[in-house]
Amino acid sequence: MIECENRKRPMNVVEKAELLRLMGHPTRLAIIQRLARGPRCVTDIQELLDVPQANVSQHLMTLRGLRIVDFHEDGKLRCYYIARPKLGELVLQFLGGDYEVASKSKDEVRRAVKRQAQDACCRPSTSKGRTRRDQTVAQALAAGNDLAAHWERVYQTKGDSEVSWHQEVPQVSLELIRKLARPGRTVVDIGGGSSVLAGRLLALGFEHVSVLDISPSALERAKARLGQAAQRIHWIAADLLTVGNLGRFDIWHDRAVFHFLTNPRDRKKYVRLAERSISAGGHLVVGTFALDGPAKCSGLVVERYDAAKLAAEFAPRFTVTKSVSETHTTPWGSEQRFIYAVLRRD
Ligand X SMILES: C[S@@+](CC[C@H](N)C(=O)[O-])C[C@H]1O[C@@H](n2cnc3c(N)ncnc32)[C@H](O)[C@@H]1O
- The verdict on 215 binding ligand X (CB under 6 A) reads yes
CB of 193 to ligand X, least distance (A): 3
Residue 213 as a binder of ligand X (CB under 6 A): the answer is yes
Instruction: List 325's β-bridge partners, or say none.
Output: 339
**255 contacts ligand X (rule: CB under 6 A):** yes
| 191 binds ligand X, rule: CB under 6 A | yes
* Count of residues touching ligand X (by CB under 6 A): 20
Among 297, 310, 320, 342, binds ligand X (CB under 6 A): 297
235 binds ligand X (CB under 6 A): no
Q: How far is the CB of 200 from ligand X (least distance, A)?
A: 12
Q: Which stretch binds ligand X (CB under 6 A): 117-125, 254-262, 319-327, 332-340?
A: 254-262
Site membership for ligand X, residue 221 (CB under 6 A): no
| DSSP states of 295-329 | SEETTEE---B-HHHHHHHHTTTEEEEEEEEEEEE
Residue 241 beta carbon to ligand X: minimum distance, rounded to whole angstroms: 5
Residue 14, burial from CB neighbour count under 10 angstroms (0-12, 13-18, 19+)? exposed
**Which one of residues 240, 274, 307, 339 is an interface residue with ligand X (CB under 6 A)?**
240
The 3-state DSSP class for residue 209 equals strand
Q: Which residues contact 134 (CB under 8 A, 6 or more apart)?
A: 125
**Is 151 among the residues that bind ligand X (CB under 6 A)?**
yes
165 binds ligand X (CB under 6 A): yes
User: First and final CA of the chain: distance in angstroms?
Assistant: 70
Q: Considering beta carbons, is residue 113 or 246 the nearer one to ligand X?
A: 246
CB of 145 to ligand X, least distance (A): 9
Kindly give the pairing relationship between strand 208-213 and strand 278-289: unpaired
Our CA angle for 28, 78, 69, nearest 5°, is 40
Distance CA 103, CA 124 (A): 32
Q: If binding is defined by CB under 6 A, does position 293 make contact with ligand X? A: no
Per DSSP, the three-state class of 205 is coil
Cβ-proximal residue to ligand X, closest one:
193
Does 257 bind ligand X (CB under 6 A)? Our answer is yes
Cα separation of 161 and 120, whole Å? 28
41: β partners: 79
Q: For ligand X, which residue of 5, 15, 134, 239 counts as binding (CB under 6 A)?
A: 239
Does 241 engage in binding with ligand X (CB under 6 A)? Answer: yes
Binding of ligand X at residue 214 (CB under 6 A)?
yes
- For residue 316, is the peptide bond before it cis, meaning its omega torsion is within 30 degrees of 0? yes
Residues near ligand X (CB under 6 A) are 147, 151, 165, 191-193, 195, 212-215, 218, 239-241, 255-257, 260, 297
